[in-house]
């Protein structure tokens, strides 16, 4: 079975990538359409609540989706117990969120947040019930089904939100969008999973699963605080409208980027868990990093170069303050992605306790950078958010290499090559956009994108190590398109 793991990983990545492309279209399309129907204040209202209650989504999962996927063996009783555990946690968190509605509104000094918090509390139960349905499909590597549901649920939610926004619902369109995505995801995953949970099995051994999940949850909570300190700081210090601008930049760039990275874990975790300590493990890790790093670094470098005309086209002149934030978040996204491969290794080898230790250090770095940056306003917050992963990324691989065997030198070199291509791409795109300043934003975007891609292509053709990387990526794509062998 292990002889075809690389091929299964490639085919899973291919199916996931197709779904990802559709989700990105939905994500960016939603940002473009809703930004013209709603105001920065509307987005800020919902972002304020999500920045706080979003932590409940981690508590609801309790790390048990990854525990189910990573477990060498999972009995029917264990799977049923995990379903009821996640559902029970979701129900409890919904109740806690209801109780916190008034304190959340008081923290931001915004009374409108009370009914919004009441409404969003229902997401916890819906997502809790969904958790193990999705994990079961991922564990059995049914990536096409997962990708299909991951596309349909946000698409349905976007249609509902647009209809409500057109009819003047304001920020309630965004609230209902969140709830619709959660409800449709539950229904679709349950239909795809084709299993009905049995009664809670008290005889099923749950301690290893709960232990894995608890350590992973702790590291995720630390990471969540670090990831949301920017929104919390802006909302608390500067108000809803500035947070709305920052939220649009985040939605336009970081959320689609997360759509790229999260599915990569969906594919990598079950495959690496089965690879164990075989030579295939290192090979999959190295190629996996290249598969993420090159397109992400090139894409984000183009964003840096054409940020202003892109914002003008997609959001309009009222959102011009988004452009500098978009550039800084693009830099942050590139370095975060380089460190992402280490997360796969931690999970695949069950090192959740060690992941917690590293996550704590990384969180301290990010919180410090963001709080210091906030002295210079919203742009300073974004700059701090960008600087933090620059400092944490080299540390992440070094830290991991002290815990478990990992091809750290090869990962450093691969990341360096991807970054070099990104720098050339960004420089070419920026220079072209600057040269066309004052011309049509459409012309600036097209010319900037073409110039950036031309710079990347030239470097890839001229440098031998980069040509080798392209060959590895081509081989991975060939494996993805190859039909699996029968039996």
pLDDT, residue 30, reads: 82
Kindly write down the DSSP assignment for every residue of 210-270, as one continuous string. HHHHHHHHHHHHHHHHHHHHHHHHHHHHH-HHHHHHHHHHIIIIIHHHHHHHHHHHHHHHH
pLDDT, residue 3, reads: 45
146 versus 13: the higher-pLDDT residue is: 146
Nearest to 23 by CA among 208, 194, 261: 261
- Hey, where are the domains in the chain? 257-480
Q: Which of 16-25, 142-151, 155-164, 313-322 has the highest mean pLDDT?
A: 155-164
DSSP state letter for 486: P
Distance of alpha carbon 449 from the chain centroid: 24
381 versus 347: the higher-pLDDT residue is: 381
Residue 2 confidence class, pLDDT cut points 50, 70, 90: very low
User: What is the value of pTM for the model shown?
Assistant: 0.65
- Residues 55-76: what's their mean pLDDT? 73
- Per residue, the 3-state secondary structure of 416-450, as one string, reads HHHHHHHHHHHHHHHHHHHHCCCCCHHHHHHHHHH
pLDDT, residue 470, reads: 84
% of the chain residues with pLDDT over 90: 24
Residue 487 confidence class, pLDDT cut points 50, 70, 90: very low
| Residue 468: CB atoms within 10 Å | 12
pLDDT, residue 6, reads: 52
For 195-253, write each residue's pLDDT tens digit: 888 888 888 888 888 888 777 777 767 766 777 788 888 887 887 778 888 877 887 78
Residue 15 confidence class, pLDDT cut points 50, 70, 90: low
Burial of 86 (0-12, 13-18, 19+ CB in 10 A): buried
% of the chain residues with pLDDT over 70: 87
Do residues 224 and 62 make contact, with C-beta atoms less than 8 angstroms apart? no
For 384-425, write each residue's pLDDT tens digit: 999 999 998 888 888 888 888 888 888 899 889 999 999 999
Q: Is the pLDDT of residue 486 over 50?
A: no
Q: How does the average pLDDT of the chain come out, rounded? A: 82
pLDDT, residue 441, reads: 92
pLDDT, residue 431, reads: 95
For 415-464, write each residue's pLDDT tens digit: 899 999 999 999 999 999 999 988 999 999 999 999 999 999 998 888 88
428 versus 346: the higher-pLDDT residue is: 428
Residue 161 confidence class, pLDDT cut points 50, 70, 90: very high
For 283-301, write each residue's pLDDT tens digit: 888 888 888 888 889 999 9
Do residues 130 and 64 make contact, with C-beta atoms less than 8 angstroms apart? no
Do residues 456 and 300 make contact, with C-beta atoms less than 8 angstroms apart? no
Torsion-angle region of 48 (φ positive above 0: left; ψ -120 to 50: alpha; else: beta):
alpha
Instruction: Indicate the length of the chain as a whole number.
Output: 487
For 100-123, write each residue's pLDDT tens digit: 899 988 888 888 889 999 998 888
Written as six digits, the tokens of 12 are: 């899973």
Distance of alpha carbon 316 from the chain centroid: 26
């Amino acid at each position: 079975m292990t002889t075809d793991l690389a091929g299964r990983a490639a085919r899973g990545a291919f199916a996931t990538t197709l779904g990802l492309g559709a989700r990105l279209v939905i994500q960016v399309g939603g940002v473009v359409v809703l930004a013209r129907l709603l105001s920065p204040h509307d987005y800020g209202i919902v972002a304020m609540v999500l920045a706080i209650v979003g932590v409940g989504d981690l508590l609801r999962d309790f790390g048990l989706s990854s525990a189910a996927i990573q477990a060498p063996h999972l009995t029917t009783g264990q799977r049923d117990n995990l379903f009821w555990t996640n559902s029970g946690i979701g129900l409890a968190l919904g109740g806690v969120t209801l109780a916190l509605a008034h304190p959340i509104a008081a923290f931001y000094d915004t009374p409108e947040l009370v009914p919004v918090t009441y409404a969003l509390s229902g997401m916890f139960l819906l997502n809790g019930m969904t958790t193990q349905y999705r994990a079961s499909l991922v564990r059995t590597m049914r990536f096409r089904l997962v990708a299909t549901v991951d596309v349909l649920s946000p698409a349905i939610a976007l249609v509902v939100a647009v209809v409500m926004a057109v009819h003047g619902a304001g920020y309630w369109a965004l609230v209902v969008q969140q709830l619709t995505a959660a409800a449709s995801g539950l229904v679709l995953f349950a239909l795809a999973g084709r299993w009905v949970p049995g009664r809670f099995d008290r005889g099923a051994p749950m301690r290893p699963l709960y232990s894995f999940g608890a350590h992973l949850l702790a590291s995720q909570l630390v990471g969540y605080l670090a990831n949301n300190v920017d929104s919390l700081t802006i909302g608390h210090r500067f108000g809803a409208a500035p947070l709305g601008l920052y939220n649009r930049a985040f939605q336009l760039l970081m959320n689609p980027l997360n759509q790229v990275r999260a599915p990569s874990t969906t594919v990598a975790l079950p495959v690496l868990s089965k690879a164990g300590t075989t030579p295939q493990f290192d090979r999959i890790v190295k190629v996996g990093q290249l598969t993420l790093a090159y397109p992400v670094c090139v894409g984000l470098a183009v964003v840096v170069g054409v940020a202003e005309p892109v914002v003008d086209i997609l959001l309009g002149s009222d959102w011009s303050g988004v452009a500098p934030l978009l550039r800084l978040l693009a830099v942050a996204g590139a370095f975060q992605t380089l460190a992402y491969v280490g997360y796969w290794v931690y999970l695949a080898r069950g090192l959740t306790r060690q992941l917690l230790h590293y996550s704590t250090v990384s969180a301290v770095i990010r919180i410090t950078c963001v709080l210091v940056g906030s002295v210079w306003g919203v742009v300073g917050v974004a700059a701090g958010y960008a600087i933090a992963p620059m400092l944490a990324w080299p540390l992440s691989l070094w830290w991991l290499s002290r815990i478990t065997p990992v091809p750290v030198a090869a990962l450093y070199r691969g990341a360096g090559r991807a970054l070099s291509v990104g720098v050339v791409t960004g420089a070419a795109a920026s220079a072209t956009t600057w040269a066309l300043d004052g011309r049509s934003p459409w012309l600036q975007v097209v010319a900037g994108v073409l110039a950036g891609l031309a710079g990347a292509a030239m470097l890839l053709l001229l440098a031998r190590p980069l040509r080798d990387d392209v060959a590895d990526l081509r081989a991975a794509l060939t494996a993805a398109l190859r039909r699996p062998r029968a039996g």
